[in-house]
Structure 1
Amino acid sequence: MTDKILVERKDGVTTLRLNDPKAMNAMTADMAGALRDLLISESKTARSIVLAGSERAFSAGANLNAAMPDDTTGFDVGETLEKEYNPLMLTIRDLEVPVISAVRGAAAGVGASIALACDIIVAGKSAYFLEAFARIGLIPDGGATWLLTKAVGRVRAMEMMLLAEKIPAEQALDWGLITRVTDDGAVEATALDIAARLAQGPSQSYSLIRKAAWSAADSDFAGALSTERKLQKEAGETRDFAEGLAAFKEKRAPRFQS
């Protein structure tokens, strides 16, 4: 485990905070592995999770000073992706609880991928998203090619990846890359308010919604209909549905506890 990720828990919400501000929360393999382990362990008790960084940066991407040897001859740059970052991204996808990212400052490289893989992305007005890989002769990773293309379309995704220019928060919102923009000082409060709301909701339903949405992104229409049919059967067998239906019939607010 690393001391570069802080854990904060309150009322069913866990905040996992990247905590290496001197390096702008640049990710190392150890941090990626620790974040994955924490996501898995916290999702067993938390009802929602917030991923946050520091004031200057959510994450500036991979820490190249730590990751790259002086001589890269014969060095497999993709190996760290296979061993650390790809498992982390798949863990975010497969979590049983909703995940909200609170982005202040830079979200670059794999840091942007982590932020953008979340279910709800709250960014401050001075935040920006950057795919800087082309500047050093690499390609976007952390699932960025998929995430960007799905979110903003091929053409805008190509512009982000080829030109490697900062995309300010307001532009990211306009493009559909993120969900909310707030004043910088309100980013985490907004994310925590959303997380608290989700923590009171139907957790089993949320888990199945996440599964259905990620599946739909890779499916044709008929496939999405088939997945919805399968998961709706599962949803109909949960305590969440029993309580939701009872509350509807009794004209009261539901009290989800699962």
Structure 2
Amino acid sequence: MSEPSVVFEVIDGVARVTLNEAERMNPLSESLQAGLLDALARVHEDKAIRAMVLTGRGRGFCSGADLKDFSQRAAQMPPGDTLGAYVGRMMKETGNPVLLGLRTLPVPLVCAVNGAAAGGGFGLALAGDIVIAARSAFFYSPFVPALGIVPDFAAVWAGARAIGRARTAGLVLTGHKLPAEKAAAWGLIWDCVDDDQLQDEAMAIARQLAELPAHAIAETRALLDAAERATLAEQLELERQRQAELIDGESFAEGVRAFTERRKPRFRGR
């Protein structure tokens, strides 16, 4: 019996989701994307899960599109169908839902980039609330210089917001491979750690995030998203609205109790 394309396990309330086609550097195959959608559904359903780690097995995090499979499919397309139409359908049915699902998880997401994050894997790696990478990892977008198509999996959207238009354009137009250390220095990711420390560090961060109030991740994402487009006055007004509601909530009350009692707060799960 073959191994699953995606391995799902729960450790101390943290779902660890591992891309498991290591011999091919975890390409975005149909089975891998289906495995990711299944993992996302399980996280939604299991209320005991309070954080998620996404990582890969082997020397690659994710190598992007399965070009070998594309070549085979192109040769077997029935009349009236095209490879482009097939890819468009796959993006609509699985690829885009995977990215949107990761970005809207009800729990915080840590992406632990263990190796090359190439093509669609570049965007996949940036989907986390916190992204850390092994020192040997790198980010690579071959779409424009090698294939004559545009980047997908929201790599440009995430990159431009993290490091600006100039650096993002340079990466995707030249196909320059961005080492993990430089990605951290630029602010594309949270941190770069030694390879043998990556998984332990990712789980440590996830456990820390798992102790947050259940609603905190959605509230923080909303504030960060607003900051990308709001004026200063609009951002201040949004902050005022959210504080007026949240301060009357259970989490704030527990935080104040913990402060006065000189202990760590104990927030409820989702």
Is TM (by shorter chain) over 0.5?
A: yes
Match of 2:14 in 1: 13
Equivalent AA in structure 2 for residue 66 of structure 1? D
Question: Cα deviation per residue 1:49-101 (whole Å; 9 max; x = unaligned)?
Answer: 00010230110112122345325884324332222211111111211211001
Match of 1:56 in 2: 59
- SS at 2:61 equivalent: strand
Match of 1:46 in 2: 49
Which deviates the most, 139-148 or 229-238?
229-238
Equivalent AA in structure 2 for residue 24 of structure 1? M
Equivalent AA in structure 1 for residue 64 of structure 2? G
Shift of 1:252: 2.2
1:89-238 residue pairs with structure 2 within 5 A? 89-134=99-144, 135-238=146-249
Cα distance in 1, alignment partners of residues 264 and 220 from structure 2: 21
Cα distance in 1, alignment partners of residues 57 and 189 from structure 2: 18
Task: Give the percent of matched residue pairs that are identical in Structure 1 and Structure 2.
Answer: 37
Cα distance in 2, alignment partners of residues 85 and 227 from structure 1: 32
TM-score when normalising by structure 1: 0.91
Cα distance in 1, alignment partners of residues 244 and 94 from structure 2: 35
CA contact (8 A) 1:208 1:235 kept: no
Unaligned runs of 5+ in 2: none
Which deviates the most, 39-48 or 97-106?
39-48
Equivalent AA in structure 2 for residue 58 of structure 1? F
Distance 1:35 1:219, change over 3 A: farther
- SS at 1:208 equivalent: helix
Equivalent AA in structure 1 for residue 176 of structure 2? E
Cα distance in 1, alignment partners of residues 68 and 226 from structure 2: 36
Match of 2:5 in 1: 4
| Number of aligned residue pairs | 257
- SS at 1:138 equivalent: coil
Cα distance in 2, alignment partners of residues 15 and 96 from structure 1: 15
Equivalent AA in structure 2 for residue 25 of structure 1? N
Question: Cα deviation per residue 1:180-202 (whole Å; 9 max; x = unaligned)?
Answer: 11111111110001111112232
Match of 1:70 in 2: 74
Match of 2:256 in 1: 245
CA contact (8 A) 1:94 1:211 kept: no
Cα distance in 2, alignment partners of residues 35 and 46 from structure 1: 16
- SS at 1:49 equivalent: strand
Match of 2:38 in 1: 37
Distance 1:223 1:84, change over 3 A: farther
Which residue of 80, 97, 100 corresponds with 2:90? 80
Distance 1:52 1:250, change over 3 A: same
Cα distance in 1, alignment partners of residues 41 and 222 from structure 2: 16
Distance 1:39 1:229, change over 3 A: farther
Distance 1:225 1:188, change over 3 A: same
Distance 1:225 1:37, change over 3 A: farther
CA contact (8 A) 1:205 1:235 kept: no
Unaligned runs of 5+ in 1: none
Which deviates the most, 33-42 or 191-200?
33-42
Cα distance in 2, alignment partners of residues 33 and 234 from structure 1: 38
Give the CA RMSD over aligned residues: 2.1
